[in-house]
Chains A and B, each alone.
Chain A
Amino acid sequence: MMFAMPILLVIVITSVQNSTFDLVNNNKIAILISNKDTGEASTRFIKAVDKIGMFRLQMVNGNDSQQIPERMHAKDALVALVIPKNFSYDLITKAQNVATRSLQDAGVSLDTAKPAPVIVEPITLYYHPVLQQSFRQSIEGAIHSALQVVQGDEIVKNLYFSLHEKQIPASLEDDILHNDIPVTEIPVSRGGSRNIPNATQHNVPAWTIFAMFFIVISLGSSVVREKLSGSFLRLKTLPTSYMTALLSKQITYLGVTLLQAIIIFSLGIWLFPHIGLPKLSLPDDIIGLLVITLICGWCAVSFAICIGVFAQTQEQSNGFGAGSIIILAAIGGLIVPSFAMPASFNTIMKISPLHWGLEAYYGLFLEGGKLKDILANILSLLAIIALIQLITLYGLKRKNLI
């Protein structure tokens, strides 16, 4: 169980996260479009939406708007767009108004009469309630940008026609509207490498730490069992110091956590590519990886023993142990990235050893850092270990176990 469950956890979480990465990066979002307009601007708008590359368009009969909620409930699509009846007319009129005002301002137009304001009927965007706000905002942004392209196109056409009294040439129109400056994305890396972060690089280190800390279930219970069974008592009457026994226990379980990490990393490297997940790339600094893995493991083992020493029953140890790991993982940035957490959590997250472990792993796996780059994280973890060991020692003395 100490190996099977963490492995399963890492595979499941990485697969789920990988689909999200794919959804955002590769897969297109299905969008229902109901076009009630018969003009040419709405057709161009739909083309512009398609050109963004983010959506898979599914046209719905403009007269059958009842289809939209039904298909959205069936999750055929999570977003739907309804283009109103007078879309083209409103858009063209608005563009003409803007063009006229621009020419009046520039003193080019002889016509001084101010154009009447146009009341534009809005486009309606339906979304499924399961969509997160950030995701919804990015969809809205994309729709606005498509709208901007069509509106801009219309304004440019109007301006050109007013100045030259002829239609704008297609090549010029294209140059004006679509001369995008390319944006190159480069992940920041200490080592200068340009590996693109993926779900595996994010999730395998994070959930490996989580798995290591879940040793609290077996180790914490084992300590409680020893206390309840009287094995502690027996060890106290033997010629060996109990501190030696405790140290031996720590070394043994540290070996277990190290083995967990080796197995999970190995699966990331050799199994993941065969099950459709990105391959795990180990950091360049293997010594650094070994050091931080050992320290994370030691911290997990120390925490588990501490829980075991203070818990009265195995149920208490398991319940508190598992609950506390989930809380520490949440505040440590394993569940929600630390940069996305509220400012008030900036201090609280520092008490979580999982936070320091994760930061160190990300320093190596994502930023291409070396051991020296994660020293601050290592020192913080060592301080937490020292504190946990002191609390454990106090508990052992207080309960007359040493």
Chain B
Amino acid sequence: MNKPAICIEHLDFGYPGQSNLCISNLHLQIDAGERFGLFGPNGAGKTTLMHLMTGLLSQSKGTVHLLGKEIKNHSKTVNGLFGFVPQDFSFYMELSPTENLEFFGAWSGLKKSAIKKRIEELLHVLGLEDVHNKPVHQFSGGMKRRVNLAIAVMHEPQVLFLDEPTVGVDVQTRHAIINYLKLLNTKGTTLVYTSHQLNEAEELCERIALINEGKIIVHDDLKKLLHEHEQDGLEGLFLELTGKKYRD
């Protein structure tokens, strides 16, 4: 059995000024080397949970361990273990992909030679070589998504959190990103992924958790869940377990 990449126990979290908890008594374990999907309707708490797993938010109760280290009390060195692809484009639009990668690579603690080598690899594998010196604000949505991903994997993290990494991109870019994520996973990177693209999720994820109103309502192997609920695809399972009512 693989050791856990993430272990969450009795997790409670509420935003300041809100009486209801956004995450309530949540338990979850994600094994190292897994391709894990976290799904749920809008406002279910997916992004909040991802922010709690990456230490961007601090829980009011419970524990989150990342590769055996408690996130809440983590020192900045723990941040080197994971990478995070936020939902928004989180980089400097006025800089080129190379400059962004140099900047964030330096902040990840990489040496100059390592940064140079990684930039060459990533620009090649993500198809950004021809535009490596152009300011990112001139890029299409798909190219920006690839830059967003490249920055998160600059330091070759052991765990990669992806918050809707393919939203708003064309089929080609989606295909390239999913293939690259699979490649990373074969090299041992644990993937924790959220998306509303359920077809894509079925293709990528081995295990999933469905989250609704801050609670995990189901958590298991994807194929097993589809079989148990007699569903052909994730969309049917999703609607069966979370209902058809609007959430936003």
Write the residues of chain A forming the contact surface with B, with a CB cutoff of 8 angstroms: 229-231, 233-241, 245, 400
Say yes or no: is B48 at the interface (Cβ < 8 Å to chain A): no
B81-100 contact mask (Cβ, 8 Å, vs A): 1 or 0: 01110101111110000000
Most chain B Cβ neighbours within 10 Å, of A230, A236, A238, A400: A238
- Name the contact of A238 in the complex, choosing from B57, B79, B93 (C-beta under 8 A): B79
Say yes or no: is B185 at the interface (Cβ < 8 Å to chain A): no
12 extra interface residue pairs, beta carbon distance < 8 Å, beyond A229-B92, A233-B90: A229-B88, A230-B86, A230-B88, A231-B90, A231-B92, A234-B84, A234-B151, A235-B107, A239-B76, A239-B155, A241-B76, A245-B107
For A398, the closest partner residue in chain B by CB is: B16
Say yes or no: is B238 at the interface (Cβ < 8 Å to chain A): no
Say yes or no: is B80 at the interface (Cβ < 8 Å to chain A): yes
Write the residues of chain B forming the contact surface with A, with a CB cutoff of 8 angstroms: 54-57, 76-80, 82-84, 86, 88-93, 104, 107-109, 151, 155
For A238, the closest partner residue in chain B by CB is: B107
Contact A239 B90 (CB under 8 A): no
**10 residue pairs from A and B, CB less than 8 Å apart:** A229-B90, A229-B92, A230-B88, A234-B90, A234-B91, A237-B79, A237-B83, A238-B76, A239-B79, A400-B57
Most chain B Cβ neighbours within 10 Å, of A229, A235, A237, A400: A237
For B80, the closest partner residue in chain A by CB is: A239
In the complex, what's the smallest C-beta–C-beta distance from B151 to chain A, in angstroms? 7
Contact B89 A238 (CB under 8 A): no
Most chain B Cβ neighbours within 10 Å, of A233, A234, A239, A245: A234
- B155: chain A residues at CB < 8 Å are 239
- A233: chain B residues at CB < 8 Å are 56, 86, 90
- B90: chain A residues at CB < 8 Å are 229-231, 233-234
- Report how far A240 CA is from B78 CA in the complex, Å: 10
Contact A230 B56 (CB under 8 A): no
Contact A239 B77 (CB under 8 A): yes
Contact A238 B88 (CB under 8 A): no
- Report how far A230 CA is from B47 CA in the complex, Å: 14
- Report how far A230 CA is from B77 CA in the complex, Å: 21
- A237: chain B residues at CB < 8 Å are 54-56, 79, 82-84
- B88: chain A residues at CB < 8 Å are 229-230
- A400: chain B residues at CB < 8 Å are 56-57
- Report how far A353 CA is from B131 CA in the complex, Å: 45
- Report how far A234 CA is from B88 CA in the complex, Å: 10
In the complex, what's the smallest C-beta–C-beta distance from A253 to chain B, in angstroms? 16
- A241: chain B residues at CB < 8 Å are 76
Most chain B Cβ neighbours within 10 Å, of A231, A235, A400: A231
For B161, the closest partner residue in chain A by CB is: A237
- A240: chain B residues at CB < 8 Å are 76, 107-109
- Report how far A101 CA is from B5 CA in the complex, Å: 113
- Report how far A234 CA is from B83 CA in the complex, Å: 9
- A236: chain B residues at CB < 8 Å are 55-56
- Report how far A245 CA is from B79 CA in the complex, Å: 15
In the complex, what's the smallest C-beta–C-beta distance from A250 to chain B, in angstroms? 16
- A239: chain B residues at CB < 8 Å are 76-80, 107-109, 155
- Name the contact of A230 in the complex, choosing from B54, B78, B89 (C-beta under 8 A): B89
For B151, the closest partner residue in chain A by CB is: A234
In the complex, what's the smallest C-beta–C-beta distance from B93 to chain A, in angstroms? 7
- Report how far A229 CA is from B89 CA in the complex, Å: 6
In the complex, what's the smallest C-beta–C-beta distance from B111 to chain A, in angstroms? 13
For A248, the closest partner residue in chain B by CB is: B107
In the complex, what's the smallest C-beta–C-beta distance from A226 to chain B, in angstroms? 8
For B90, the closest partner residue in chain A by CB is: A230
- B78: chain A residues at CB < 8 Å are 239
For B79, the closest partner residue in chain A by CB is: A239
- B82: chain A residues at CB < 8 Å are 237
